[in-house]
């Protein structure tokens, strides 16, 4: 499969396909980054890997040649047809290709019987779907490892710490379930067409005891961060039933107050709130 810019352009021309910006179609043209993705994910023969947006199949080929079984979802019909005519025929037993929307089918229809067996996700994520897709994945079942090619801004937001302007609801959800391991910077020159921003391989390792929030609590956290400059006391009084004694005591125990803003509340404190609050509608 192509790795060089020239070979990538030639293949796209043969398919009559122009990269679509709205689908985030920036194709990897650097074999070193492909190898780094597999290295960070610790991909070995026999692994089960989910890939989002396989595109021309550069990363997919490396995964399959490493002996992994790959479940991939591709929205673009031309690229899906290309993969079905090439890789699906070459690796009929280990390549499972789905045409569809990754946000609606975030694990590429990975069978429920396989999902609990420490599968991994390795993907070059389109920026437009990165957060909603990741939010869907965090609903479970949780992969053991994720190595995600992201725009640097998104990677920084997911790894952001309390007190940072980048710290938000998705930071809380992600860091409750995953530890952030060392990743890798990726230059714009590693893609065709060349994007306007730098990228980053985000390396995530599932925590020994991951915390997955229930949908009503996730909705509460999102609502709080949508008004991130408001004080947490006012936000919780408006949304949590009862007299507030439970959450006020939790805040005090964590050295916080009703005047604390959502962006200053540590991930562990959000977890304790989730465990202690009464059922939310």
CATH class of the region 215-276: mainly alpha
CATH fold group of domain 5-206? Rossmann fold (3.40.50)
Residue spans per domain, the chain: 5-206, 215-276
Task: Indicate the pTM of the whole model.
Answer: 0.94
- In order along its 281 residues, the chain shows pLDDT tens digits of 556 888 899 999 999 988 887 777 889 999 999 999 999 999 999 999 999 999 999 999 999 999 999 999 999 999 999 999 999 999 999 999 999 999 999 999 999 988 888 999 999 998 889 999 999 999 989 999 999 999 999 999 999 999 999 999 999 999 999 999 999 999 999 999 999 889 999 999 999 999 999 999 999 999 999 999 999 999 999 999 999 999 999 999 999 999 999 999 999 999 999 999 988 87
What is the C-alpha separation between 163 and 131, in angstroms, rounded? 20
Cis peptide before 141 (omega within 30 of 0): yes
User: Which residues, 6 or more positions from 126, have their beta carbon under 8 angstroms from its beta carbon?
Assistant: 23, 24, 25, 52, 53
What's the angle, vertex CA 73, arms to CA 204 and CA 170, rounded to 5?
Answer: 35
Q: Are strands 69-74 and 48-52 parallel, antiparallel or unpaired?
A: parallel
């Amino acid at each position: 499969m192509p790795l060089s810019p020239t070979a990538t352009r030639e293949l796209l021309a043969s398919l009559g396909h122009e990269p679509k910006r709205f689908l985030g179609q920036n194709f990897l043209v650097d074999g070193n980054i492909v190898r780094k993705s597999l290295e960070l994910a610790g991909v070995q023969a026999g692994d089960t890997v989910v890939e989002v947006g396989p595109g021309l199949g550069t990363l997919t080929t490396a995964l399959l040649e490493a002996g992994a079984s790959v479940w991939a979802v591709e929205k673009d019909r031309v690229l899906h047809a290309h993969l079905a005519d090439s890789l699906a025929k070459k690796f009929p037993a280990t390549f499972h290709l789905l045409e569809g929307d990754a946000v609606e089918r975030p694990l590429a229809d990975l069978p429920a019987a396989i999902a609990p067996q420490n599968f991994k996700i390795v993907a070059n994520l389109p920026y437009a779907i990165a957060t909603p897709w990741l939010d869907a994945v965090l609903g479970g079942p949780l992969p053991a490892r994720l190595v995600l090619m992201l725009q640097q801004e998104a990677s920084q937001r997911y790894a952001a710490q309390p007190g940072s302007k980048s710290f938000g609801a998705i930071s809380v959800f992600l860091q409750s379930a995953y530890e952030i391991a060392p990743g890798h910077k990726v230059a714009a020159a590693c893609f065709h067409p060349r994007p306007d921003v730098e990228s980053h391989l985000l390396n995530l390792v599932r925590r020994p005891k991951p915390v997955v929030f229930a949908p009503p609590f996730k909705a509460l956290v999102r609502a709080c961060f949508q008004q991130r400059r408001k004080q947490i006391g006012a936000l919780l009084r408006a949304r949590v039933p009862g007299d507030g004694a439970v959450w006020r005591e939790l805040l005090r125990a964590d050295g916080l107050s009703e005047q604390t803003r959502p962006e200053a509340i540590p991930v562990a404190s959000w977890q304790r709130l989730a465990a202690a609050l009464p059922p939310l509608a």
